[in-house]
A and B are shown apart, each in its own frame.
Chain A
Amino acid sequence: MRFVHALLYFFREAAVNLLRGWKVSLLAVLTIAVSLFVGGAFLVVSGNLSGSIERWRNEVRVVVYLKPEATEADLRRLAAEARRLPGVTSVEPVTAAQARDRFKDVFPGLSDLVSGWQDEPLPASLEIGLDPKAAKSSWQESWRGRPEVDLIDDDREWLGQLEAAVAVVRAVGLALLGGLLGAAIFTIASVIRLTAYLHHEEIEVMRLVGATEFFIRGPFYAEGFLQGLLGGALASGALYGVYQLIHARSEGSLFSAVLALDFLSPQQVAFLILLGGLAGLFGAVVSLRREAL
């Protein structure tokens, strides 16, 4: 019960200090908000890219493009062969005419590009669905040498490259978050040290009446924690605002059709806010660790 009273006292004092020195506190809150906003933005981008990659991996396919001289009979024969290959879940032969119509359906604004040609502008192809868990088989290499086959496009190749890019984005995000969070912790530490200095008379009185070090430092720890929480909440709010803006503008576009656009989960938002709180608490502890107060 005594501990609860002490905690209530810490947070009450911290709230009063925040309001009283709101300009300085705002600086600390904003620095932590900026760092968490950047970190959160990278989290959103990498999370969405990872989600899309995962989705694409589950729909992984190999597209075999045929040469222009290949006939529809070649297409049907190759399709029949493909159905017998290991790990193949579906085979859809697409004639050159079907490919042209599909292009017009997907990109109606660009339909002029595929109209008016003497020959079919797009090649016939085989869309071969693969079991995502199946190992990469050797049939593709042998198919590449066949006279009807022009090109084999395996989704898994560029998905691997995209995954590497996402890993880079994540690493850059973490590095930026770390650096900015370090700066924010430094700012909070400075603000807390300044607040402690402004309260030195009160600290002296508390020490004289028999307050323990924990009781004296508690309000400053609570203040750092609150600043961090506020920064985290501000960053989450700003992030959500920007997300909504982008979401509204990209609705119905190719971008939204290709890439999943989800916001952070409630757990991730809570983590972001808590991370801010912990960073603030850490800043307060560090700032007062070597302070005699």
Chain B
Amino acid sequence: MIQFFHVTKKYPGGQSALDDVTFEIPRGQFVFLTGASGAGKTTLLRMIFREEVPTSGQILVNGRNVSSIPQAKIPYLRRTIGVVFQDFRLIPRKTVFENVTYLPRVLGVDLNGQKKLAYQALRRVGLAHRLNAFPPELSGGEQQRVAIARALINEPDILIADEPTGNLDPDLSWEILRLFLEVNLRGTTVILATHDRDTIHRIGRRVLTLDHGRLALDQELVGTDPPALDPLANLEVEEEVEVPEAPADPHPPGPPLPTPPSLPRRERGESEPPEEEPG
């Protein structure tokens, strides 16, 4: 679960990136984060994995207060969160295998274990055959899928994607989004920042809209053309995969996404922050 309690972020010089943002994302939910450029989407995402700290307010990720987490414990938080960026952030001189196995290496998994995990993760994104390729040899869509495989390799609790389809053509974008939805179907909380309103309308799901650093809208949408999803897609047949039940949706479908700020803001998750995790 991710909880933001009155989170404000001001940069030196007084520029405000986030202003009193409060919301809650239950475990296993799929959330679109949208807003114009500079609305604060990236700052908000970076706060979840403690790349940024709030000027005021509290952020809890799975009950842990990330704003006050000790520096030495940040890596352990990040191992539970997969992050995908618009610019992929793949290392060109490393093979696909080396790019996706950073976390297993950090965790001390032996080479055979790394190979197995890499194969499984790449198979999920349909790129198991490109294990030994280098990123510059891949298309944009393939590179993005490698970045997703890297984020998924440790079965993270939370998957964060910042404009993951921004550099891709519509067909590839749809393919990538479908992948995120399938990951979510297996129980991973997915937060996807995008300003592609057509995609949001088409897929539906919960949408958080930021406007000049404020949470302008928090609503549930019914997709106009949601894809048919296969929770077992790209998983090995012989694998015993536990497919979690789709989480009960706490937010009934709302009206189609309007243009802010004409719709009323939905009041959610404004309870008092729980006490910080001991230790």
Contact B106 A209 (CB under 8 A): yes
Number of interface residues of B (CB under 8 A): 22
Contact A210 B108 (CB under 8 A): no
Q: Is B75 an interface residue (CB 8 A)?
A: yes
Within 8 A of B (CB), among A91-116: none
Bound Cα distance A122, B50 (Å): 92
Pick from A2, A5, A6, A201: contact of B91, CB below 8 A: A201
Closest to B78 in A: A210
Bound Cα distance A32, B116 (Å): 42
Contact A210 B89 (CB under 8 A): no
Q: In the assembled complex, how far is the CB of residue A269 from the closest CB belonging to chain B, in whole angstroms?
A: 35
Contact A9 B102 (CB under 8 A): no
Q: Which of A201, A205, A206, A208 has the most CB of B within 10 A?
A: A208
Contact B91 A205 (CB under 8 A): yes
Q: Is A267 an interface residue (CB 8 A)?
A: no
Bound Cα distance A204, B78 (Å): 12
Q: Is A257 an interface residue (CB 8 A)?
A: no
Closest to B101 in A: A209
Contact B105 A210 (CB under 8 A): no
Within 8 A of A (CB), among B77-109: 77-79, 83, 89, 91, 93-94, 102-103, 105-109
Q: Is A1 an interface residue (CB 8 A)?
A: yes
Q: Is A56 an interface residue (CB 8 A)?
A: no
Pick from B78, B93, B94: contact of A208, CB below 8 A: B78
What chain B residues lie within 8 Å of A210 (beta carbons)?
75-79, 103, 106
What chain B residues lie within 8 Å of A206 (beta carbons)?
102, 106
Closest to A215 in B: B106
Contact A5 B106 (CB under 8 A): no
Contact B103 A204 (CB under 8 A): no
What chain A residues lie within 8 Å of B51 (beta carbons)?
208
Q: Which of A20, A201, A209, A211 has the most CB of B within 10 A?
A: A209
Contact B108 A211 (CB under 8 A): no
Pick from A5, A207, A208: contact of B110, CB below 8 A: A5
Number of interface residues of A (CB under 8 A): 19
Q: Known contacts A209-B150, A210-B76, A211-B102: does B83 contact A2 (CB below 8 Å)?
A: no
What chain B residues lie within 8 Å of A1 (beta carbons)?
108
What chain B residues lie within 8 Å of A202 (beta carbons)?
91, 94
Bound Cα distance A206, B105 (Å): 10
What chain B residues lie within 8 Å of A161 (beta carbons)?
none
Q: Which of A1, A201, A207, A211 has the most CB of B within 10 A?
A: A211
Pick from B72, B79, B105: contact of A9, CB below 8 A: B105
Contact B105 A208 (CB under 8 A): no
What chain A residues lie within 8 Å of B77 (beta carbons)?
210
Bound Cα distance A20, B91 (Å): 15
What chain B residues lie within 8 Å of A208 (beta carbons)?
49, 51, 78, 83, 89
What chain B residues lie within 8 Å of A6 (beta carbons)?
108
Within 8 A of B (CB), among A185-202: 201-202
Bound Cα distance A206, B104 (Å): 11
Q: Known contacts A5-B108, A5-B110: does B103 contact A209 (CB below 8 Å)?
A: yes
What chain A residues lie within 8 Å of B102 (beta carbons)?
205-206, 209, 211
What chain A residues lie within 8 Å of B103 (beta carbons)?
209-210
Over the window 126-146 of chain B, the binary record of Cβ atoms lying under 8 Å from chain A Cβ atoms (1 yes, 0 no) is 000000000000000000000
Q: In the assembled complex, how far is the CB of residue A223 from the closest CB belonging to chain B, in whole angstroms?
A: 16
Q: Is A212 an interface residue (CB 8 A)?
A: yes
Q: In the assembled complex, how far is the CB of residue A74 from the closest CB belonging to chain B, in whole angstroms?
A: 88
Contact B106 A211 (CB under 8 A): yes
What chain B residues lie within 8 Å of A205 (beta carbons)?
89, 91, 102
Bound Cα distance A201, B94 (Å): 12
Within 8 A of B (CB), among A1-50: 1-3, 5-6, 9, 20
Q: In the assembled complex, how far is the CB of residue A226 from the closest CB belonging to chain B, in whole angstroms?
A: 19
Closest to B109 in A: A5
Q: In the assembled complex, how far is the CB of residue A2 from the closest CB belonging to chain B, in whole angstroms?
A: 3
Closest to A201 in B: B91
Bound Cα distance A206, B110 (Å): 17
Q: In the assembled complex, how far is the CB of residue A173 from the closest CB belonging to chain B, in whole angstroms?
A: 43
Closest to A20 in B: B93
Contact B91 A209 (CB under 8 A): no
Bound Cα distance A10, B51 (Å): 25
Closest to A2 in B: B108
Q: Known contacts A210-B78, A210-B79: does B89 contact A204 (CB below 8 Å)?
A: yes
A contacts, CB < 8 Å to B: 1-3, 5-6, 9, 20, 201-202, 204-212, 215
B contacts, CB < 8 Å to A: 49, 51, 72, 75-79, 83, 89, 91, 93-94, 102-103, 105-110, 150
Report, nearest first, the 10 A-B pairs whose CB atoms are least far apart.
A2-B108, A210-B79, A210-B78, A210-B75, A209-B103, A5-B108, A211-B106, A209-B102, A212-B75, A202-B91
Contacts A208-B51, A210-B106, A212-B75 known; 7 new A-B pairs at CB < 8 A: A208-B78, A209-B79, A209-B103, A210-B75, A211-B102, A211-B106, A212-B106
Q: List 9 A-B contacts (CB under 8 A).
A: A5-B105, A202-B91, A204-B89, A208-B83, A209-B103, A209-B106, A210-B77, A211-B75, A211-B102
